[in-house]
Structure 1
């Protein structure tokens, strides 16, 4: 049961990496009127989850877990560089680097991670670690099964997006729970797809998200950092 407990810790909104301060373009979508109610929120988050997260970030995270487990640090470095390069805007790149740095620092302070032979040094050797790179290092070191890890990774992203929507749209708490129930049902299939998707089919092509993020960088008033 211990790997499950560690996974719950990694997927918890209490993980102190600053995820709650980011909306990943959702705040601008609200400001522009593209998202203004529960149904619009479900479409926005659901599309990003299925077309972006599940087709690029999640399969890349699965590949990172495999590389960490195989001791293939060159592969880890290459995947980390690919992910950083895939961030279309300044704030999206700053987000993953900041969260990655925060998680690396946290893991370095946790005895349960630092006691594992070689893991801390391997993680510190990664140049500018992105958040999925640091997150999968912890999941692999704590022997979390890959299918559970990817499902939890998607859930953590979904939960953060719904929490951002509750504040920004705004939505009530019951609406937030309905969104988590509805969109959460898609996660098992999306995680399975991500684990099986060959690298030549990975794609984060989502121009709407990129435009929203770039517009958010100069938005006059905002609650979130992205």
Structure 2
């Protein structure tokens, strides 16, 4: 049980070289406009995304991707990957998941320290299936790694959600800016909502998935033409 937990910690670590820290997912634009400028407002923005597009679309998609990888269902993996791409409403959000997916594929496929791990040999054909995908997105590649390393779906989704929250909070700490203590308060508060979101994601049928979040789409679109910025989305 300990090794899958350690592998999960590796997958959610900010040290994972996929470039997550360079993205704010529209948060930088709402900060620039003055709509989000306090700790409470940051918490509301991130909390809304957790309850909305991230919690009701990306998390259940990730859960279904893990099942598809575990069952060796190549068609389902490809279809879910395409659905994830289609759900990205702006060029920045699309570029983000494609770039992070590409970086994680390179890490898993090209580095012997990852490629030759016995766990990956227990997921037959994973290298070929990843390479065969047209523009593998980050959740697709991340799900493959989690399954190969024996991480169960519930802790996997909890870890994935935590990594997303942490990245959003750290973006706010830089962009607002906020102090480190404020960042920790936000992390503590936002983390309380994760177990319920994960439980819902594990049982939510595809017809109930929803990425409708116009505020996020508008913020991302406006960020594309923002004059001065720190982040890539």
Instruction: State the TM-score, normalizing by the size of structure 1.
Output: 0.98
Checking the alignment, whether the CA contact within 8 Å between 2:57 and 2:209 is kept in structure 1 is: yes
Residues of 2 paired with 1:212 and 1:127: CA distance? Answer: 27
Residues of 2 paired with 1:112 and 1:223: CA distance? Answer: 32
Equivalent in the alignment of 2:139: 132
How far off its partner does 1:112 sit? 5.1
SS in 2 for 1:93: helix
User: Can you list the C-alpha shifts for 1:159-194, whole angstroms capped at 9, x where unaligned?
Assistant: 000000000010000000000000001111111111
4+ residue segments displaced more than 4 Å: none
Equivalent in the alignment of 1:60: 61
Residues of 1 paired with 2:204 and 2:55: CA distance? Answer: 9
Structure 1 gap ranges (5+): none
SS in 2 for 1:91: helix
SS in 2 for 1:214: helix
Residues of 2 paired with 1:97 and 1:166: CA distance? Answer: 25
Checking the alignment, whether the CA contact within 8 Å between 2:56 and 2:210 is kept in structure 1 is: yes
SS in 2 for 1:43: helix
Equivalent in the alignment of 2:81: 80
Cα 1:149–1:186 change in 2 (3 A) is same
Equivalent in the alignment of 1:195: 202
User: Can you list the C-alpha shifts for 1:115-153, whole angstroms capped at 9, x where unaligned?
Assistant: 323222221121110000010010011110000001111
Checking the alignment, whether the CA contact within 8 Å between 1:113 and 1:120 is kept in structure 2 is: no
Equivalent in the alignment of 2:9: 8
Checking the alignment, whether the CA contact within 8 Å between 1:61 and 1:136 is kept in structure 2 is: yes
Instruction: Determine if the alignment matches structure 1 residue 173 to structure 2 residue 155.
Output: no
Structure 2 gap ranges (5+): none
Aligned length: 226
Residues of 2 paired with 1:193 and 1:123: CA distance? Answer: 28
Equivalent in the alignment of 1:164: 171
Instruction: State the TM-score, normalizing by the size of structure 2.
Output: 0.95
Equivalent in the alignment of 1:211: 218
Equivalent in the alignment of 2:30: 29
How far off its partner does 1:109 sit? 2.8
Higher mean C-alpha deviation, range 161-170 or range 120-129: 120-129
Residues of 1 paired with 2:100 and 2:44: CA distance? Answer: 26
SS in 1 for 2:52: helix
Higher mean C-alpha deviation, range 199-208 or range 120-129: 120-129
Equivalent in the alignment of 2:94: 93
Checking the alignment, whether the CA contact within 8 Å between 2:107 and 2:114 is kept in structure 1 is: no
Residues of 1 paired with 2:96 and 2:214: CA distance? Answer: 18
Checking the alignment, whether the CA contact within 8 Å between 1:113 and 1:138 is kept in structure 2 is: no
